[in-house]
Every structure is written in C-alpha cells, then in structure tokens.
Copies of this chain bind each other. A is one copy, B any other.
C-alpha cells in the first residue's frame, strides 16, 4: 500500500510557517512500514486542489490530506476531496453536538460557519466503531484539541484521510485514531522502541549497527541524527501487540549492549535532561551548574523538566574570569597559568560550584564558542567539561564544529551527558 501526502494552505506557500507536519507524518509512515513516494503542497484554491488531489489518488493507494478543514470559506479540502471521490456530505448530529460543546466550553459565541465542520460523508461512523471491514466506508476521527473532526474516506480501492492542519490537533489525532486504523488495515500490530544515544557520533553509530541493519527483516532498524544525539528506531510487526513486543526485545537488548551507557532511554518521550533528573531522583542527589560559554543553556534544559526543583536549586553563569573567581572560587593563578579555557579551570569550576551550592554534583562548561577568540593552540569549538560528584572529579576535552550556536548546544548536551555518566559510574562501584 503506497501513501502520499497533500498539505493544503497558502501560509505554507508564502513561507509563513515551516511544514513540521510533513516530517511527523513521514516518520510515522516510515515506522509503520508504509512507503511514501510523493508529498505536495497546494494553496487554498479549488481548481489547483482538485488537480493535486486527483493526481495523488491516481498514483497512490492512500492520500493523507492535511489542513483546510476549518470553518472559513477558504477551507475547502473536505468538499473537494469528497467531490473528486464521488462521496456526498451530510450534517452529522453527533459532530454538531460536540462542536457546540467545544465552542461553549471556550466561552465563545456559536457562529453559522462552525456548522460547516459537522458535514461528513453519508453513513460515516465514529472511528471506534470500526471492525476491520474492507470496502466503501467512511469514519469520523474525533478532535480533542480543536473543532474540525478528521475523516477517513474509502472508495473504489482508494483511501483519503483528512486531518486538521494545526500540529497540536493533527499529531494526537494521528496517534490516537489514524495509526490504529492503519495497523488494523494491515492486520498487523506494530510495536516500536526508540533507543536514544548520546555521546556517539552519527557515522560511528551507523557503523556500529550496520550488520543489524543489513540483516534486518522484522524488526526493522533505522537511525536518525537529532541534534547532538543519534536515535535508533526498532519496529516489529506481528499479529498481536504481545508478539510484536516479544520480537523487539532481543534487538533492543543487543543495541543496549552495543551502546552501553551511551543509551539514555528507550522511550520516545524521554529527553536527555529527563533521563538525568530521573537519576538524580533515584539516588537522591542535588546538582548545580557552572557555565561559561553555554551561558545558562544546561541550567535552562534542567529547568525544562517539571519537578526538577527538588534536585536543582541554583546555577551559576560565570562568563568572565572575575565571576569564575568570585562565584566559584577558581584560583587567580589557575586562570593566569592555564587560561579560562582549560581542563584545570573546568575542574575548579565544578569543585567550586558544588561547594558554593553544597550540592552532591556540579557540572562545569568552559570553551570557545567562536566565531572569534580561537588560537592555534586552543581552536574555536574547544570546550572543557567538568563534573564533581561527591569528591570524585572528571574533566573531558571536546572540539565541536559548527556555528557559535551549534557549538554551545553540543557543549550543553555533553555537560548533561557527563553528569549522567558520572552518576552511573559512581553508583556502579
């Protein structure tokens, strides 16, 4: 079954927004093993939309249409798609009721054009009532985060799936309704794990799994580079979820063995900072941060984790030599002899930060983010990262490449990762 995507919206053609839905749906289809050969973007124009939808339904088995389901006159996707497929629309009482409930919950007045969204294919049923039947069926997909419901329209061996454009509505609707529908159609259940790896470069990671990727059948393995991390998606297909999960297990175990401590989670929703905070919680550790070139990025990522306040109370941004001395107690002699960008300074920053905050752990970052300031001995991108954990210290030297922003992002990731690895090492002893 081939799938293609049509994105409707003049705001995409004008460059007002980035099409993040395209990446999300593409990744989801890839994980479901569905080949996507084409994607199109078209504006809110009836003639051009009809042309694009006809071409898509002509060459692919299934078309995901995103956007243009709203209440305004410009929202034409449903009407045109139904006409092209020869499907008539009618007002649905249940959808109408849920629209009225949604609008009144927001305290807004009900306007006539809202009812446009209650028009659905004749005989369409809520997606929950689907029982695996094949043929000319239509289903309504509930929208918990907006007014326009989604739709599935099947006719003559072709399927159109209509989704709202806002990512906050499209993503949950896809995960809650479309994904199970697609799995139901294939008679297969898919189960995925996402092995998130930090501290291993993309090429090295690819090489480390090459034999598994070459030998893959079920489960399948795919690697993605994401910022300073590599994510490995493992997907197994089976007739039951239990069986699919069972197929996943040995592969996930093998990958965890190969990447060891570099794997910080196998759950898609867990970030590096969340994994670190989980460890702080597990071992009841407090931590602080002493940052120079990252200027607070590592602290800000920690604070992005809800509930971090039990483990993180304060952080230091010490951009000048003076601040490193005054706030963290880095010796003036160290700064003079080794300079601010040195392993020795990173070490004293970590020791001093932990002492100032009386915390169990402190990470430190000092480096040259560029674009200026590099020398032959200490090039742009050189970063020293230190970690003090209850008296044990470690300092690492990195040379990152890229823009000032990229170097700083990499450095913040590497600092959080070093804290994570230090905790694992400490409590393994």
Contacts and interface: CB of A to CB of B under 8 A. Distances in A.
Nearest to A317: B315
Interface in A1-36: 12-20, 22-30, 36
Nearest to A326: B314
A194 interface: no
A239 interface: no
Tally of this chain's copies: 2
A371 B306 contact: yes
Contacts of A322: 313
Interface residues of A, number: 71
A36 B408 CA distance: 37
Contacts of A12: 22, 26, 39
Contact of A13 (B39, B52, B317, B320): B39
Interface in A29-60: 29-30, 36-43, 45, 48, 52, 55
A308 to B, nearest CB: 8
A384 to B, nearest CB: 17
A316 B319 contact: no
Contacts of A266: none
B319 A303 contact: yes
Contacts of A28: 15
Nearest to A24: B15
Contacts of A357: 323
Contacts of A293: 303
A327 interface: yes
A308 B404 CA distance: 13
A40 B55 CA distance: 12
A304 B37 contact: no
Q: Which 9 A-B pairs have the closest CB atoms?
A: A296-B296, A295-B303, A15-B27, A15-B26, A315-B317, A314-B323, A313-B320, A296-B299, A39-B41
Contacts of A43: 37
A168 to B, nearest CB: 9
Contacts of A320: 309, 313-314
